Amino acid sequence: MDLQNELKQKAAAAALEYVKEGEYLGVGTGSTVSFFITELATSGKRVKGCVSSSEATTRQLLAYGIPVCDLNDIVGTIPVYVDGCDEIDGNFCMIKGGGGALTREKILAEASDMYVCIADASKEVKQLGKFPLPLEVIPMAVSSVCRAMEELGGHPTVRDMVTDNGNNIVDVHGLQIKEPTRLEAAINQIPGVVTCGIFGKRGADVLLIGTPEGVRTLKPKKGFFSGRQK
Ligand SMILES: O=C[C@H](O)[C@H](O)[C@H](O)COP(=O)(O)O
């Protein structure tokens, strides 16, 4: 296993501590989460059911015999949501969607009391935007959304994939994301955008960063924005 995967695995293993036995658990998508699912399956911890953010995650959970349930069947919030990120800044705002699962991930993050973000050290940034910003876009609006993103100073490319929701992904390169929450709201207003990959309104509550020296646990300082906005 290469170093980056080792660090992802360390962060994933550290997230087990936050799993509440006998409760619902939200599960994100991606290679770091895939390590987490393996850790969960072998830990002996039993949850009431997992709410999954993608078909890939559902397949892996079911392969381990972990029950998967529908968000619509849950009354109230999910206590804990475990997911990765593509970039995270000092205010716990993130870019997500490298795997195209951003919309379901955002729905689950919003429905959860605590977002536990697991990542290797390469994901920490001072300012978001080096990682191209993914947008999930309704197919008929791809061209118009791309033009709107060019007006914002970005360079959009259309990804060769269809999301679990049957939509396209537009990756926007070259954006200077100085105010994540403001840009998130502005992009989400463009007709045809299902959602953008900025997680600013709902950032992470705990960040577990895998480093060669061990796992660093970071939480927003008091007064810093984070958490589910009610
Ligand atoms: O759509 C994918 C998700 O937002 C992932 O959480 C993100 O891309 C990070 O993935 P990975 O853990 O593979 O680096």
So where are the chain's domains? 3-125+201-218, 133-197
Shortest-distance Cα residue to atom 8 of ligand 1: 98
Determine the 3-state secondary structure of 44 from DSSP.
coil
ipTM of the complex: 0.98
Q: Give pLDDT, residue 11.
A: 98
Ligand 1, from 29, 102, 163: best to mutate by most atoms within 8 Å of Cβ? 29
Q: How remote is the CA of residue 100 from the centroid of ligand 1, in Å?
A: 8
Shortest-distance Cα residue to atom 10 of ligand 1: 30
Task: Indicate the CATH number for domain 3-125+201-218.
Answer: 3.40.50.1360
Instruction: Judge contact between 83 and 27, C-beta under 8 A.
Output: yes
Q: How remote is the CA of residue 197 from the centroid of ligand 1, in Å?
A: 11
Is 20 marked within a binding site?
Answer: no
Domain 133-197 -> CATH class: alpha beta
Sequence-distant (≥ 6) Cβ neighbours of residue 227 within 8 angstroms: 115, 202, 203, 205, 220
151 is written with which tokens? 């007006």
Is 84 marked within a binding site?
Answer: yes
Shortest-distance Cα residue to atom 3 of ligand 1: 97
Q: Residue 20: what are its φ and ψ, rounded to 5°?
A: -95, 115
Answer yes or no: same fold for 3-125+201-218 and 133-197: no
- Taking the C-alpha atoms of residue 64 and residue 76, their distance in angstroms, rounded to an integer, is 26
Instruction: Judge contact between 66 and 40, C-beta under 8 A.
Output: yes
β-strand pairing of 206-211 with 193-196: unpaired
Q: How remote is the CA of residue 106 from the centroid of ligand 1, in Å?
A: 12
- Specify the ligand 1 atom closest to the Cα of 8: 12
**What lines the ligand 1 site, CB under 6 Å?**
28-32, 83-86, 96-102, 105
Is 197 marked within a binding site?
Answer: no
Tens digit of each residue's pLDDT (9 = 90 or more) over 78-135 = 999 999 999 999 999 999 999 999 999 999 999 999 999 999 999 999 999 999 999 9
> Tens of pLDDT along the chain (230 residues)?
899 999 999 999 999 999 999 999 999 999 999 999 999 999 999 999 999 999 999 999 999 999 999 999 999 999 999 999 999 999 999 999 999 999 999 999 999 999 999 999 999 999 999 999 999 999 999 999 999 999 999 999 999 999 999 999 999 999 999 999 999 999 999 999 999 999 999 999 999 999 999 999 999 876 555 555 54
Active-site annotation, residues: 105
Q: How remote is the CA of residue 28 from the centroid of ligand 1, in Å?
A: 8
